[in-house]
């Protein structure tokens, strides 16, 4: 049976390399529609969790994982040799930044070097990891064509950016429009055929480079606009204007305006990183991405500004930041997710400790974490603990906070998310916002 027929009849055997927040949901969706799916990950804990039918991703329900494992549609391994009998390979591995702030595609290259040992005719390979324009064509294609096989004839290669939005109750893997571009037109058709079986809408583009740039534009758009509103927040602070009131009023305009909100800094796996992939690639063409670099500069300075706010707030109480007890509310990069990657809270904690503050935290999603060899454990959020701290610093506005308890018992609050805006009363004078 030809590969296109296998895909359309859902007889193709699929492999998903990388079983994180992108790969595991994709593997489950493929399995749900009837494909035989093998998940591959070098992390044995993830493999074992799948065998035990236990989800380790917040957006993946245990019952969904249990269903596809029990019916034999999904299994997991760390052994790449299973690719010998596989028709489709989706690569969903991390793409971080190096310390030099250059793209690190080593996980992609490692995955390709493992896949190429088992590359065979009529295989479809799709990269979903966010990366700079040209990665699929310049870094991946030469590895596969070194075998003597020809893309578009002997095997098929495409790129389709992940668009996962953790904790989004409305948009999940199968109902987010799926952009896809192949190295050749037939590569694109193959990838479209696969995603048409799973996704509600597929959006084809003319090349892998276009598809790669789509994801970077999406997150650069957010980064630049957040940088703009952060700068507006700093300006409003100097002018004694409530930036939150300004944004809320501006958002009533039914056209030509989209509200973005200031915060303590960018976090997560995408927004702080993806725009720098784009600016790095642009530099290789002699092009300077000034908006991207400026937004990164503004956003990167927000943790220092938050520490300045805390210091100024304590000064009003005739206290020094040195030796003050400060309680951080929320250490995850985003509300209602259990993920501290690139969270501004980590940098803020480091800065506060560097100034001699005694820092603790509460986060209902993170019981403990280690940052720069220092271990932190979440405290209990109760009246006694809240009243014992000199300052409560709201970094992440989780939905399940007892805001009234916080406001009623805190001596002083610095609220970087305007999370406590609905709480009224005399205690409002003790709340400082961006």
**Residue of 14, 92, 236, 270 with catalytic role:** 270
The span from the CA of 300 to the CA of 139, in Å, is 30
Q: Cα Rg for the chain, rounded, in angstroms?
A: 24
* 391 catalytic per annotation: no
- Bridge partners (DSSP) of residue 293 are none
Q: Which of 395, 397, 429, 396 is nearest to 412 (CA)?
A: 429
The span from the CA of 161 to the CA of 214, in Å, is 8
Are the CB atoms for 188 and 24 separated by under 8 Å?
Answer: no
Two structure tokens written together for 263: 């915060």
Q: Which of 359, 417, 365 is nearest to 390 (CA)?
A: 359
Task: Give alpha helix (H) positions in 152-242.
Answer: 185-196, 208-239
Residue positions counted in the chain: 434
Two structure tokens written together for 324: 């003050």
Task: Give alpha helix (H) positions in 301-343.
Answer: 302-316
The span from the CA of 327 to the CA of 405, in Å, is 14
Are the CB atoms for 178 and 160 separated by under 8 Å?
Answer: yes
Known catalytic residues are 270
């Amino acid at each position: 049976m030809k590969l296109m027929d296998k895909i359309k009849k859902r007889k193709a055997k699929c492999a998903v390399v990388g079983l994180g927040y992108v790969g595991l949901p994709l593997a489950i969706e493929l399995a749900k529609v009837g494909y035989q799916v093998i998940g591959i990950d070098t992390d044995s804990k993830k493999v074992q969790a799948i065998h035990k039918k236990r989800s380790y991703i917040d957006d993946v329900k245990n019952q969904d994982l249990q269903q596809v494992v029990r019916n034999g549609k999904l299994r997991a391994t760390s052994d790449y040799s299973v690719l010998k009998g596989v028709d489709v390979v989706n690569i969903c591995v991390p793409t971080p930044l190096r310390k030099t702030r250059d793209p690190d595609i080593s996980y992609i290259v490692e995955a390709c070097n493992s896949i190429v040992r088992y590359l065979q005719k009529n295989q479809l390979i799709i990269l979903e990891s966010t990366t700079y324009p040209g990665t699929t064509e310049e870094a991946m294609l030469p590895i596969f064509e070194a075998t003597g096989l020809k893309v578009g004839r002997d095997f098929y290669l495409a790129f389709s950016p992940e668009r996962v939005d953790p904790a989004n109750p409305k948009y999940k893997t199968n109902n987010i429009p799926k952009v896809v571009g192949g190295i050749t037109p037939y590569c694109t058709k193959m990838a479209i055929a696969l995603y048409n079986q799973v996704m509600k809408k597929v959006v084809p583009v003319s090349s892998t480079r276009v598809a790669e740039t789509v994801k970077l534009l999406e997150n650069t758009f957010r980064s630049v606009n957040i940088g703009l509103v952060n700068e507006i927040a700093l300006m409003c602070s100097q002018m004694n204007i409530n930036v939150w009131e300004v944004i809320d009023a501006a958002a009533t305009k039914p056209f030509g305006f989209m509200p973005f909100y200031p915060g303590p800094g960018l976090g997560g796996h995408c927004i702080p990183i993806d725009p720098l992939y784009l600016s790095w690639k642009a530099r290789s063409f002699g092009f300077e991405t000034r908006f991207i670099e400026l937004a990164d500069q503004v956003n990167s300075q927000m943790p220092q500004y938050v520490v300045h706010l805390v210091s100024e707030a304590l000064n009003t109480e005739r206290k020094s930041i040195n030796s003050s007890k400060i309680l951080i509310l929320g250490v995850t990069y985003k509300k209602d997710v259990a993920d501290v990657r690139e969270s501004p809270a980590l940098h803020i904690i480091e800065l506060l400790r560097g100034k001699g503050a005694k820092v603790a935290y509460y986060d209902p999603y993170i019981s403990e974490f280690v940052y720069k060899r220092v271990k932190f454990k979440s405290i209990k959020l109760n009246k006694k603990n809240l009243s014992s701290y000199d300052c409560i610093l709201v970094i992440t506005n989780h939905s399940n906070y007892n805001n009234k308890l916080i406001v009623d018992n805190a001596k002083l609050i610095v609220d970087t998310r305007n999370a406590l805006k609905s709480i009224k009363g005399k205690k409002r004078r003790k709340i400082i916002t961006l």
